[in-house]
Amino acid sequence: MTPAVDLTLPDDWHLHLRDGARMQAVLPHTAQRFGRAIVMPNLAPPVRDTAAALAYRDRILAALPEGSDFNPLMTLYLTDATSQDDIDRAADSTHVVACKLYPAGATTNSDAGVTDIRKISRVLERMTRRDLPLLVHGEVTDPRIDVFDREAVFIDRILLPLREQLPDLRIVFEHITSSEAVRFVSEQDSHVAATITPQHLMLTRNDLLAGGLRPHNYCIPVLKSRNDRKLLIEAATGGDSRFFLGTDSAPHARSEKESACGCAGVYSAHAAIELYAEVFHAAGALDRLEAFASFHGPDFYRLPRNTLKIRLIREDWTVPASYDFGVDTLVPFRAGSQLKWQIEDA
């Protein structure tokens, strides 16, 4: 008999859907696998207020495959100019569930991000009062700091002081990549959680840099060492409710990745839960996949857990070399390679 795992329908707590024809191309992958997703606001121009978030949500709903019940959870992009009223409007809305802090210049479409966290201290106080979670891209942008150290330095310079200042602010440390981040989150109380991507559980920087430069494995925060990866796997599979699924699936056109200055982002929505299943299987922790993928996230966000179920079956399949992506194509994570799990009846 083919081994199978039954799971409560999972959610993706960190996702880039883009917009227009590109969104249309990638959205079915996520809608097929997940009940909900936290949709990142780093469009150009960014999603800065509730009106823009609700309009974006309507465009996502209109692009969904027929019959899909997928529910996009929206976020606001914090800038130096975000006001306390912006926070109130978001907290009063049903569909905006968090605000994202991009340090200006840290990653794709982050130029309008926050230039100095002190500029949003009133906004962060209001978020604390309204219990609106802060999602952080946790890397400093200081050019003197080595790219491999930017997450660890962010903890010391930004997160530790912020925890002292606003201990009741709920924070999601997004797409953690380092042993320092695992340790930091493990030492916090239930106000702090973290998402972990499939690529950071499966790859190290060797997969980016050794034996040729592999632009499709390039994402931010950049892949780290074997030891970092080991600790991330332990965190994800260890059952601690502060760690949950967030793919950071970040599609870019092939021509923008295979370039002299290639874009950061790994596209994983085509096989997201299947990739996590592979990691948990290899770690002997398949029985913990459901909590990581379907329980810890909604519990943190104080949303109901999904009730539908999906079944993963142990059957090899080959990831296509590319997918359509509007006018260009998109090279998915593990393109052309075999994956071990698939969704039954997908």
Per-residue mark of binding to ligand NCD, 243-272 (x: CB under 6 A): -----x-x-------------xx-------
Q: Least Å distance between CB 48 and ligand NCD?
A: 16
Q: How far apart are CA 132 and CA 170, in angstroms?
A: 7
Q: Does 37 bind ligand NCD (CB under 6 A)?
A: no
Q: In this chain, which of 151, 180, 228, 248 binds Zn ion, going by CB under 5 A?
A: 248
Q: Which of 96, 91, 170, 87 is nearest to 122 (CA)?
A: 87
Q: Least Å distance between CB 94 and Zn ion?
A: 23
Q: How far apart are CA 330 and CA 66, in angstroms?
A: 23
> Measured on CA atoms in the order 281, 287, 290, 296, is the torsion positive or negative?
negative
Give the tokens for residue 196. 């972990």
Q: Least Å distance between CB 106 and ligand NCD?
A: 7
Restricted to residues 207-226, the positions that interact with ligand NCD (CB under 6 A) are 219-220
Q: Which of 129, 130, 131, 171 is nearest to 154 (CA)?
A: 171
Q: What is the DSSP letter of 249?
A: B
Taking CB within 5 to 8 Å according to partner kind, which of ligand NCD, Zn ion, none is near residue 11?
none
Q: Least Å distance between CB 90 and Zn ion?
A: 19
Per-residue mark of binding to ligand NCD, 88-117 (x: CB under 6 A): -------------------xx---------
Contacts of 195 (CB under 8 A, 6+ apart): 13, 14, 172, 173, 174, 175, 176, 243, 244, 245, 246, 248
Total binding residues toward ligand NCD, as defined by CB under 6 A? 11
Per-residue mark of binding to Zn ion, 57-76 (x: CB under 5 A): --------------------
Taking CB within 5 to 8 Å according to partner kind, which of Zn ion, ligand NCD, none is near residue 108?
ligand NCD
Q: What is the DSSP letter of 210?
A: T
Tokens 């060797």 appear where? 206
- Under the rule (CB under 6 A), what is the footprint of ligand NCD? 16, 42, 107-108, 137, 219-220, 248, 250, 264-265
